[in-house]
Amino acid sequence: MSLPNQLHLTPKSPKESMIEMREMVLPQHTNALNTIFGGVVMSWIDLAAAMSAQKHCNRHVVTAHIDEISFLSSIKVGEHVLIKASVNYVGRTSLIVGVRVESEDILAQTTKITTRAYLTFVALDLHGHPVQVPPLNPETHDEKRRFENAKKRVQATKELRAKIQMSNRS
Ligand SMILES: CC(C)(COP(=O)(O)OP(=O)(O)OC[C@H]1O[C@@H](n2cnc3c(N)ncnc32)[C@H](O)[C@@H]1OP(=O)(O)O)[C@@H](O)C(=O)NCCC(=O)NCCS
C-alpha cells in the first residue's frame, strides 16, 4: 500500500535513511588474484544505495547514473565488507547517495576504506513516472559538507553535459 502524498514530502535527515550492509568475500566473488571482482562490489554498492534512497522517499527507485566509483584498495577472500550508504542530496525527483566501502580483516582486527561511490536514483510513482521526493535536512557538520559537495557535483555534471551538447552541435 502507498502512503498519502503529503507523508511522502516530510523532510528527513540523512540518518533516517542510512543503510549498513555486511558481506563476506567468498571464492566465487574473486578474480585470478584472489581479491574481490569489481563488479561484485558495484552490485553491493548499487543495492545498499538503492535501499537508502528507497528509505528516504518510501518509493520505488531506479538507478539513473553512477557519478563516481573509485576503487582505493583491494579486498581479499575471507575478509568482511561493510557497505555504508546515505542520501547526500535530493533534487525534485532525484536523490544522490554516497557510499563508503570498508574491508575488515577479522583475524588482524584491522579495517580499511576500499571504495567510494556516488549514485543518482530517481523515485517513481506506481505508474513508473518520476515523482517528487521529500526534502533532505542535513543536520551535522559532515551531513552539511556532503550536501554542499553533492550540490556542486550535480551542477558540474549539468555544465559538462551542456558543454558536450554545444560542442556536438558546432
Ligand atoms: C531514470 C529515468 C526514470 C529518468 O526518466 P526521465 O524521463 O529522463 O525523467 P526526467 O527527465 O523527468 O528527470 C527526472 C529526474 O532524473 C534526473 N535524471 C534523469 N536522468 C539522469 C541521469 N542520467 N543522470 C542524473 N540524473 C538524471 C533529472 O535531472 C531529474 O532530476 P530532478 O527531478 O531532481 O530535477 C529513466 O531514464 C529510466 O527509467 N532509466 C532506466 C533506469 C533503470 O532501469 N535503471 C536500472 C539499472 S540499468
Residue 7 pLDDT exceeds 80? no
Ligand 1 geometric centre to CA of 110 (Å): 39
Within 9-140, where are the H helices? 38-57
d(CA 31, CA 38): 9
User: In sequence order, what are the residues at sequence separation of 6 or more whose Cβ sits closer than 8 angstroms to the Cβ of residue 141?
Assistant: none
Which of 7-16, 23-32, 120-129, 158-167 comes out lowest in average pLDDT? 7-16
Residue 170 is predicted with a pLDDT of 76
Average pLDDT, the chain: 95
CATH architecture for the domain at 9-169: Roll (3.10)
- Tell me how far the alpha carbon of residue 24 is from its chain's centroid: 20
Ligand 1 atom at minimum distance from 46 CA:
47
Nearest alpha carbon, ligand 1 atom 29: 94
Domain boundaries, the chain: 9-169
Ligand 1 geometric centre to CA of 120 (Å): 8
In this structure, what C-alpha cell is assigned to residue 133?
A: 521526493
Within 58-92, where are the H helices? none
Q: How far is CA 156 from CA 7, 84, 149, 161, in A?
A: 32, 25, 10, 9
Residue 1 is predicted with a pLDDT of 52
Pocket of ligand 1 (CB under 6 A): 62-65, 91-94, 120, 122, 130
- Among 41, 22, 43, 23, which residue's Cα sits nearest to residue 31? 41
Nearest alpha carbon, ligand 1 atom 10: 130
d(CA 119, CA 142): 18
Enter the pTM of the model. Answer: 0.93
CB neighbours (10 Å) of residue 60? 17
Ligand 1 geometric centre to CA of 157 (Å): 14
Residue 6 pLDDT exceeds 70? no
List for the chain the helix, strand, coil content (%; round to 5). Answer: 35, 35, 25
Do 76 and 46 form a contact (C-beta atoms < 8 A)?
A: no
